[in-house]
Amino acid sequence: MKKVLIITYYWPPSGGGGVQRWLKFSKYLPEFGWEPIIFTPENPDFDMKDDTLLNDVNPELEVIKLPIWEPYKLFEKISGKQRPSQGLIQSSKKQGIFTKLAIWLRGNLLIPDPRKFWVKPSVKFLKDFVQDNGINTVITTGPPHSMHLIGLQLKRKLNIRWIADFRDPWSKWDMLENFKLSSLARRMHRKLELRVLQNADEVITVSQTWVNEFEDIHKRTYRVITNGFDDSDFDNIKPKKGSGKIVISHFGLINTFRNPVIFWDVLRRLSTQVQIEVRLYGTIEEPIKDSVMADPILSNLIEFKPPVSHDEVLRAYAESDILLLLLNNSNNAHGHIPGKLFEYLASQRPIIALGPKNGDAANIINQCEAGTTVSWKDEEALRKAILSVIDGEESKRELKAIEKFSRRNLTQELVQKVLAN
């Protein structure tokens, strides 16, 4: 069996979407003749913890861990506050001077990201480990994109086969706007990104739009391997029992980029017609949450729930009548395909997405006949989409189209199109 080293910052018990992709690939790779070896930090500072994901780690899987130093304690010392969760930095309009300074330092000195200090010790350790264990193929996955810098140096030192996986863009990532980058910092990001794109033997990403954006930076062959769902996760999930109310659920971050203003307006209008209950699981930007709670109608319809384990998320899908998908209301939203979309598909619940109607996520929803995508400003279309589900006007899902996004099928695609080349 051939060995492949996978370098990833996110690994169980890390929670959230970033961990799922290579956790699932590593689960199914042995079925296709590849032995994955995971290299990950011993003491990472991630936002979410989910111990249930440890159940997906094969006890025979070799996981190598190396200590990491991250400067978040320094951020807290300078700003006087705890590090904000990723995605919420842009929300504060009352940032003090020290918080602003800390954010500026993060964006302009810690390039490409605060995990950069792990690159040198990782290369030093892996240089011997790779040679001693007969490893010829290395995969790096980002963000954090400093993982790719480890691959870049290993490629130069050992001439191994290196595959760079981009779960999100790099220099065109909308999250970078939070950090008030100087022109010099932007150039440094683009320079590092270009080096990775030029030197990796294979580059894969999760959407065709992002392939197009990478081609604008450097012309070469790129491959799309989307995220997906694991059939086995749904084995013991029981379907929802009717409660009389229409339950609309959303999972994940709601911030400035994903504030569904027209959804709030539609809820007010529908509240006199049908019984609706909205469940919002995950982190909600405080000004958005405060605004909803101050509304006498919305506050009675919406329930805020904290981030929950992946097992609980799967059960919550089954308890929902409509699954809400919020795509970033930003310039690069066309290529944004949230990982949860594929689990939405597997749950076979109607999907209503807010975002570009010609984006990659909308195309998948259309191909699978799994729901409707509504633009961020089309309130009437959103109202009609919700009512059509309530009235029982569901489309027939294309199960074959959905099945191609199973983790096993995607792993087979990864092996055939990337690893076997």
DSSP characters over 245-273:
SEEEEEES-B-GGG--HHHHHHHHHHTTT
What lies within 8 Å, CB to CB, of 144 at 6+ separation is 9, 112, 113, 114, 115
Report the pLDDT value the prediction gives residue 69, as an integer from 0 to 100: 93
The pLDDT of 208-237, averaged and rounded, is: 95
Distance of CA 187 to the CA centre of its chain: 25
DSSP 68-126: ---THHHHHHHHSSPPPPTT-GGG-SS--HHHHHHHHHHHHHSSS-GGGGGHHHHHHHH
Is the pLDDT score of 178 beyond 90? no
Highest mean pLDDT among 40-54, 121-135, 331-345: 121-135
Angle, helices 208-217 vs 183-199, to 10°: value is 100
Task: Dump pLDDT digits (tens) for 395-413.
Answer: 677 888 999 999 999 999 9
Q: Assess contact for 390 and 365: CB atoms under 8 A.
A: no
Strands 351-354, 2-7: parallel, antiparallel or unpaired by DSSP? unpaired
CA 149, CA 136: separation in Å to the nearest integer?
17
- Write down the pLDDT at residue 99: 72
CA distance 209 to 213: 6
Query: How long a stretch of residues is the chain?
Result: 421
How remote is the C-alpha of 229 from its chain's centroid? 13
Residue 387 pLDDT more than 50? Answer: yes
Q: Closest Cα to residue 419, out of 11, 31, 100?
A: 31
Fold match between 2-71+110-228+406-419 and 232-403?
yes
Question: CB-based contacts of 53: which residues, under 8 Å, 6+ apart?
Answer: 12, 13, 14, 15, 19, 23, 309, 310
The predicted-structure confidence for 62-99, as pLDDT tens digits, reads as follows 999 999 999 876 666 555 555 555 554 444 455 677 77
| pLDDT tens digits for range 130-175 | 999 999 999 999 999 999 999 999 999 999 999 999 999 999 887 7
Q: Lowest mean pLDDT of 29-38, 83-92, 114-123, name the range.
A: 83-92
Residues with Cβ < 8 Å from 368, sequence gap 6 or more? 345, 397, 398, 401, 402
Helix axes 183-199, 97-109, angle to 10 degrees: 30
CA-angle at 258, arms to 256 and 262, nearest 5°: 105
CA 272 to CA 264: how far, in whole Å?
A: 14
* Domain ranges within the chain, ordered by starting residue: 2-71+110-228+406-419, 232-403
H-helix or E-strand spanning residue 168: none
Per-residue model confidence as pLDDT tens digits over 335-344: 999 999 999 9
Beta strands in 101-224 (DSSP E): 137-142, 161-166, 202-205, 223-224
To the question of domain 2-71+110-228+406-419 being in CATH 3.40.50.360, the answer is no
Largest CA distance in the chain: 69
Query: pTM for this one?
Result: 0.92
Whether the CB-CB separation of 280 and 254 falls below 8 Å is answered with: yes
Domain 232-403 matching CATH 3.30.70.20: the answer reads no
Collapsing DSSP to helix, strand or coil, 240 comes out as coil
% of the chain at pLDDT higher than 90: 77
Cβ atoms 365, 351 nearer than 8 A? yes
